[in-house]
Amino acid sequence: MTTAQEARPSTPINADGLLQGAGKLWFIVAALGQGAFIAFILAFYGARTATGDFEGWNEKQLIDGHIAGDDAGNAMFAVHVLLAAVITLGGLLQLMPALRRAFPALHRWTGRAFLVLAYVMALSGAWLTLVRGTFLSEVSAVAILIDAVLILVFASLAWRDAAARRIDSHRRWAMRTFMAVSGVWFLRVGLMGWVVLNQGPVGLNETLSGPTDIVLVFGCYLIPLALLEIYFAAQRAATAPPKILAALMVLAATAFTAVGVFGTVAFMWAPHL
């Protein structure tokens, strides 16, 4: 059978390969950055929690962290921050096709765990924001709460499609869930990438409400989600130009992600270890 693409005169560029390669490269950079996030959470929060040094959480600049006498808030913070390492690892494992192909049963179980943890993270984060009152500014609280709602909706749709064996649709919702869950990581990468590129905190302030802050608190999930939709659309496209354009956008995002990962590790996490 001749496909529409084979019938067209061939271009010197393998557009599908380029798009796939750009996606893989982004994932490798993101996996390194999320690996560093996991290592930081375990080394900083994990070590202090395991030894009962709960006040030690506040050795890093936090909004609330540990508050003497607030047992419920401290317990919720501990659950939230420690499960952050588990869900980040689970998300990375789910997106590795080789692992998925080699161990399909493991993929199903880590997938269920990832989606349950997505609910737990969104709900515990919303509790910390709304009940404990942990937020820097109203605009940043609204932004992160919208991310929580998106996580709950996307995870539910990913679960529904997996149960109904609609695999293509499940894959798309699962990847959207991954992007929304990674929003808080993207926020750190976005802030530090911006600071590194501008050699300073241009448009940022102490309460996450400066002009750049506002772009980033919403953009930390909306921009990755928009790029993901462009990537999906380019995969479906019948011609090479949209694929090449999307690949270039993903490569630009990869370069920015790499700068942001460098910034988070060098200036946000390593100084606390």
Q: Which residues bind to ligand HEM, rule: CB under 6 A?
A: 41, 60, 62-65, 80-81, 84, 87-88, 121-122, 125-126, 128-129, 134, 144-145, 147-148, 151, 181, 184
Nearer Cβ to ligand HEM (15/122): 122
Query: Which residue has its beta carbon closest to ligand HEM?
Result: 125
Nearer Cβ to ligand HEM (94/129): 129
Nearer Cβ to ligand HEM (65/263): 65
| Shortest distance (Å) from residue 42 CB to ligand HEM | 11
| Shortest distance (Å) from residue 240 CB to ligand HEM | 36
Nearer Cβ to ligand HEM (80/171): 80
Q: Which residue matches tokens 């699962």?
A: 174
Positive or negative, the CA dihedral 174, 175, 180, 181 is positive
| Shortest distance (Å) from residue 107 CB to ligand HEM | 20
CB 102 within 8 A of CB 114: no
| Shortest distance (Å) from residue 84 CB to ligand HEM | 4
| Shortest distance (Å) from residue 5 CB to ligand HEM | 38
